[in-house]
Amino acid sequence: MISAYRLIRSVLLTVAAVIGVASILLIGAGALMRVSPLIVISGSMEPTIPTGSLLLSAERPASEVKVGDIVTVARPNGDGTVTHRVISVTPGPEEATTLALQGDANASADPEPIVTKSVGQHILTVPAFGYVAAFFQTVRGLIVAALLALALLALYFFEPKSGKPQHGRRRRPKNHRADTAGSADAPPTNS
């Protein structure tokens, strides 16, 4: 029973350590390369990008965008962002570019073109992971994350004793003195 527990404990702690290191590396790389995670909340880009996906996009100048690219831009009315496919690109003054966008699942183009200097260029889509990311942004999700962290700490610090005797030499206490009286190597004593 103890060996099965130790195996499970070892696997869980190793997986948690790998996830932790990967998270730190991804956050660092994301900050350096200006990559942003986004949660997809509508089906306008299905089947290419399903609802509930986690989308990664990197900031790029709008002048580098080509027809067919998937980009994330701020909505003209300031109501969040939109991730759609570029259907036309028109260079403008002062590095601004006008983009016409359309969702893959939409029958027509977006009503207003976007004038911008930079976009979020689609890099990667992780289906369904947006639901997980959204959950961990809620109070309930934060409580679950805290409980998972506490459980992992408990696994790390509390290991059950095996009940088996320890093998090896026992150490003498520091204050222990060998009885040297009568020993051949003992110095003579005055009696």
Q: Residue 190: is its pLDDT beyond 80?
A: no
Q: Residue 170: is its pLDDT beyond 90?
A: no
Q: Same structural domain for residues 101 and 49?
A: yes
Tens-digit pLDDT profile for residues 30-60: 888 888 899 999 999 999 999 999 999 999 9
**Residue 104 pLDDT:** 96
* DSSP code, position 169: P
The verdict on residue 171 lying in a domain is no
**Residue 186 pLDDT:** 53
CATH number at 54 reads 2.10.109.10
Mean pLDDT in residue range 11-23: 88
The verdict on residue 155 lying in a domain is yes
The verdict on residue 186 lying in a domain is no
Tokens matching residue 182: 């009568």
The verdict on residue 134 lying in a domain is yes
Name the least confident of 45-54, 119-128, 175-184. Answer: 175-184
The verdict on residue 175 lying in a domain is no
Mean pLDDT in residue range 162-178: 57
Q: Same structural domain for residues 119 and 82?
A: yes
**Residue 185 pLDDT:** 55
Q: How many domains does the chain have?
A: 2
The residue among 124, 60, 56, 61 whose CA lies nearest residue 94 is 61
What is the Cα–Cα distance from 133 to 23, expressed in whole angstroms? 13
Identify the burial level of 186 via C-beta atoms within 10 angstroms of its C-beta, where 0-12 means exposed, 13-18 middle and 19 or more buried: exposed
pLDDT confidence band for 167 (50 / 70 / 90): low
Q: Tell me which residue range forms the domain holding 82.
A: 38-127
Q: What is the CA radius of gyration of the chain?
A: 32
The verdict on residue 66 lying in a domain is yes
Q: Same structural domain for residues 65 and 133?
A: no
Q: Same structural domain for residues 122 and 133?
A: no
What is the Cα–Cα distance from 175 to 136, expressed in whole angstroms? 56
Cβ 169 vs Cβ 175: under 8 Å:
no
Tokens matching residue 180: 């040297």
Q: What is the pTM of this model?
A: 0.70
The verdict on residue 181 lying in a domain is no
The residue among 70, 44, 48 whose CA lies nearest residue 57 is 70
Among 82, 107, 127, give the residue marking a domain's end. Answer: 127
**Residue 4 pLDDT:** 82
What is the Cα–Cα distance from 4 to 141, expressed in whole angstroms? 30
What is the Cα–Cα distance from 36 to 5, expressed in whole angstroms? 39
Task: Report the run of H or E that residue 82 belongs to, with start and end.
Answer: strand 81-91
Q: Same structural domain for residues 119 and 134?
A: no
Size (the chain), residues: 191
What is the Cα–Cα distance from 84 to 66, expressed in whole angstroms? 13
